[in-house]
Amino acid sequence: MSHQSDLIAEDILAYLKEHENKELLRFLTCGSVDDGKSTLIGRLLHDSKMIYEDQLASIQSDSAKMGTTGEKLDLALLVDGLAAEREQGITIDVAYRYFSTNKRKFIIADTPGHEQYTRNMATGASTCDLAIILVDAREGVKTQTKRHSYIASLLGIRHVVVAVNKMDLINFDEAKYEAIKADYLEFAKELNIKDIQFVPMSALDGDNVVNRSEKSPWYDGKTLMEILETVEIADDQNFDDFRMPVQMVCRPNLDFRGFQGTIASGIINVGDEITVLPSGKSSKIKEIVTYDGNLDQAFAPMAVTLTFEDEIDCSRGDVIVKSDNLPQSAEKIDAHIVWMAEDALTPGKEYIIKHNTNSTTGRVSTLRHRVDVNTLEHKHAAQLALNEIGLCELTLSKPISFDDYQKNKGTGAFIIIDRLTNITVGAGMIHVSEKVESIDLDALTPVTQEEREARFGQTGSVILLSDEQANLASALERLLFNQGRAVAVIDEDSCGSDAAHNAAVAAQFAKAGLIAICALEAGFDKELIDSAFEGTSIVDVTAKGSPEETLKALLNSL
């Protein structure tokens, strides 16, 4: 849907040309349940005159039957199209709406607020430039507000508008608005969001959405629509690192061989020296071919055909880069994974990894930690369940060429596909650890026990096995290792038969945040335990019947 313009009647071709050249802004609305996300989108479309008369009549009719706003027009029904959404007054699936003003074109993604629909929210956010995070002025910053802010940050969204909604219900109290603003900014210090703006508004009544409200004379900032029309997104694109995944080789005749694809990032010029990965073969750009003719220069996100001066091997799945600016290549990568399937992500299971136009197989070799998106804490986990997010190490069957996701979305993202069902079960954002440029010794503080527990997702402890249980050490180590625990066995084979020495080693393991399984045929006397393990967590291993029952009880106690 487009904005009203006299050109539509006067010169339709001029209007279409004007519309074609407008900048496109993709944004999403998110936040806690009942914060007014769908109502806000309806208000944006209504006040900017983007709703057709028949749509408006239908909403007026439906508002009387199933609306939640009393006698007022329930604009949320414009985007809540599913029967279940209208019955419950909530958003379940991602709804997209398209509109434009005389300054910009927009694609809106209305995403769910419920925790169980986190995967839907992540899907909607993956292509957006800006996020509108709604906060109920009566409730303030809630857990779900933090959850969606973290996901927006993780997915590389650089612009966030915190819309403090339902201000009409608190009589546009400036003090409450400022308190919510301060609370959010304190939380946002932990996030990688560069641009945060705040708007006090009422989506239901339209205050400060499209038109400025007289109810908030103390607010001198922009309305929400003014922010959407003016926010600078051109600099968000990475023009420094040229990357073009090859989608297809174009060979219409014997005299032409070109490589087609959409430029993921960067700028390319005729004559630039390029390298094709993973082969490493180099050449120079001969032509940049498009439907409208050849160009001297192309940049992201243009779709082009490149020809080379030399005949080198290049095919679908390869990546064309500039020779003086190469991405990383490896078969082991770290990535944040958003899990989207009912069946949990299990380390060791083989999946298809689709990275740009390249597909390979791989598995999660290590689940480093699960992120509690409500508190941002790192927690130990043996697997990732539906809607959970974790930092994982993946081992691939062949190397891929990649960049850090925060630096380059185009080459830093991938999806995980189940090999049997061919269903997309996860989305990954590659994380590359920063290189150490300098070290400030004065700024380094001792590692705390809390930090160790956060890193390993466990409490450092010692498991003392009796003489009769010594044969369970290897099995226990395997079970804990399969859970992703940092664990080691201290026994006569690894450390000798000196009980005091082994006790000291085990105590140091525990202080370092690891789990030490102590098995010594000669056993440990009480005096030695009291002296060696003072201040150390000792796990009681009381026989629970059969060896299997003992191990089960022990695992459940850790």
* Annotated binding-site ranges for GTP: 31-38, 110-114, 165-168
| Contact criterion met (CB below 8 Å) for 160 and 194 | no
Q: How far apart are the C-alpha atoms of 54 and 44, rounded to whole Å?
A: 17
Burial track 343-365 (b if 16+ CB lie within 10 A, e otherwise): eebebeeebbbbbbbbebebbbe
Q: How far apart are the C-alpha atoms of 172 and 159, rounded to whole Å?
A: 25
Tokens found for residue 124: 């909607």
| Contact criterion met (CB below 8 Å) for 334 and 292 | no
Query: 3-state DSSP call for residue 202?
Result: strand
List, in sequence order, the alpha helices (H) in 11-117: 12-20, 37-47, 53-66, 83-88
Q: 101 CB contacts (<8 Å, ≥6 apart)?
A: 3, 48, 225, 229
Q: How far apart are the C-alpha atoms of 283 and 275, rounded to whole Å?
A: 7
Question: What angle, 0 to 180 degrees and rounded to 10, lies between the N-to-C axes of helices 547-557 and 473-482?
Answer: 40
Q: Map tokens 């003392």 to a residue.
A: 464
Strand partners, 431: 334
Q: Is the CA virtual torsion 373, 365, 412, 358 positive or negative?
A: negative
* Binding-site residues: 31-38, 110-114, 165-168
Largest CA distance in the chain: 98
Q: How far apart are the C-alpha atoms of 112 and 3, rounded to whole Å?
A: 27
List, in sequence order, the alpha helices (H) in 133-252: 143-154, 174-188, 224-230
Q: How far apart are the C-alpha atoms of 6 and 34, rounded to whole Å?
A: 38
CA atoms within 13 A on the CB side of 480: 27
| Contact criterion met (CB below 8 Å) for 411 and 401 | yes
DSSP string, 386-438: TT-EEEEEEEEEEEEEE--TTT-HHHHEEEEE-TTT--EEEEEEEE-PPPP--
CA atoms within 13 A on the CB side of 499: 17
Nearest to 27 by CA among 109, 150, 120, 123: 109
Q: 416 CB contacts (<8 Å, ≥6 apart)?
A: 337, 345, 351, 352, 353, 354, 424, 425, 426, 427, 428
